[in-house]
Amino acid sequence: MAPSLGRSGLEGLERSCGDWVRSMGPVGGVELLQAWFGGRGFAPHRHDTYGIAVTDLGVQTFDYRGNLERSLPGQVTVLHPDELHDGRAGTDGGFGYHIVYVAPERIGAAVRAITGRPTPLPFVREPVALNPLLAQAVAEAFSSGLEPLARDAVILRLAEGIIAADCSLRTSRYGSRLDVAALTRTRDFLDSRRSVVRSAELESVSGLSRYDLARQFRAAYGTSPYRYSLLRRLDFARNGVRRGERIVDVALAAGFADQAHLTRVFASTYGVTPGRYAALHARASARNEFVTALQRMPPRVRSRGEPACLPHKAHPYLLTAI
């Protein structure tokens, strides 16, 4: 994918031999960026988004709000909108990181859905910390891409992590009420769709805001609307693969961009590629047909013709449950 440095991009970026940047977006108020710098990454600058980053390798050093900050591998950095900062390597080994930029209005809407009341934008006083909630949210952003429902889930997760780090917003008043009728309509709608579902569609179906829906849906069904929708599309794809349909046709019918897109998501979910999955089922089907034919043979013919490797009493679940 070609880099696309938008409004939250790295103005003042100084490239040198070996340095690189990859980015996606911004789309729907979210931008993803991954980078590696051997020395000075970028000059002092500011952007009008939140920036939530995880340091991957090396030591990242930066000036922020009058202090010198350092981020080690696994630590999370939270940069607030319109705050001046720079970035450079803290050692001779360079540093790498990945970061999610989110428009403040998106975080604000998610925070209101979580707390159930109007609130100011959350502020994290410690810009560098170990924050498993935010680290997981950043990882989910990069693994799921920027589909509409995936963005909603990521923004909600990021808001939850930021709230947990902002003592002024910590509250036990997180909304607990579930709109069962709205959730049922949403689930039924997702069950019926074989393509990418947009946030506005679910808002229309459920009557809830996208972030309130994401919160309630996870509470009711244990997963996000995006993940639920993705798995229903994968169910549809698996059935097509089992029937021997062409994988490229299955991919397009299930709402994936192409065969490569389906293969990546399929393998990350099931641990095998669609091609391998199809081969395994074809082999199992052939074995079932052989066993059925063998069982229909007269006993004297079967005893002479049965391969030694095939047990006389095959285990049914090995033959029919795949």
Residues 125 and 65: their CA atoms lie apart, in Å, by: 10
Q: Is 75 helix (H, G, I), strand (E, B) or coil?
A: coil
pLDDT in tens, 161-192: 999 888 777 654 455 577 889 999 999 999 99
Which domains, from first to last, does the chain contain? 20-165 (2.60.120.10), 180-271 (1.10.10.60), 279-320 (no CATH)
Check if the beta carbon of residue 154 is closer than 8 Å to that of residue 227.
no
Q: Is 269 helix (H, G, I), strand (E, B) or coil?
A: helix
Residues 39 and 60: their CA atoms lie apart, in Å, by: 10
What pLDDT does 16 receive? 43
Residue 138 scores a pLDDT above 50: yes
pLDDT band, very low/low/confident/very high, at 254 (cuts 50, 70, 90): very high
Residue 207 scores a pLDDT above 70: yes
Question: For the whole model, what pTM was predicted?
Answer: 0.66
Residues 90 and 170: their CA atoms lie apart, in Å, by: 33
Alpha helices in 128-179 (DSSP H): 132-144, 148-165
Q: Mean pLDDT throughout 237-241?
A: 90
pLDDT in tens, 58-114: 999 999 999 999 999 999 999 998 888 999 999 999 999 999 999 988 998 899 888
Higher pLDDT, 321 or 147: 147
What pLDDT does 116 receive? 82
The residue type at 178? L
Q: Mean pLDDT throughout 225-247?
A: 90
Task: Enter the tokens of residue 302.
Answer: 């079967």
For strands 50-58 and 95-102, give the pairing.
Answer: antiparallel
Residues 63 and 85: their CA atoms lie apart, in Å, by: 5
Q: DSSP letter at 39?
A: S
What pLDDT does 6 receive? 37
| Cα 111 to chain centroid, rounded | 20
Residues 33 and 5: their CA atoms lie apart, in Å, by: 9
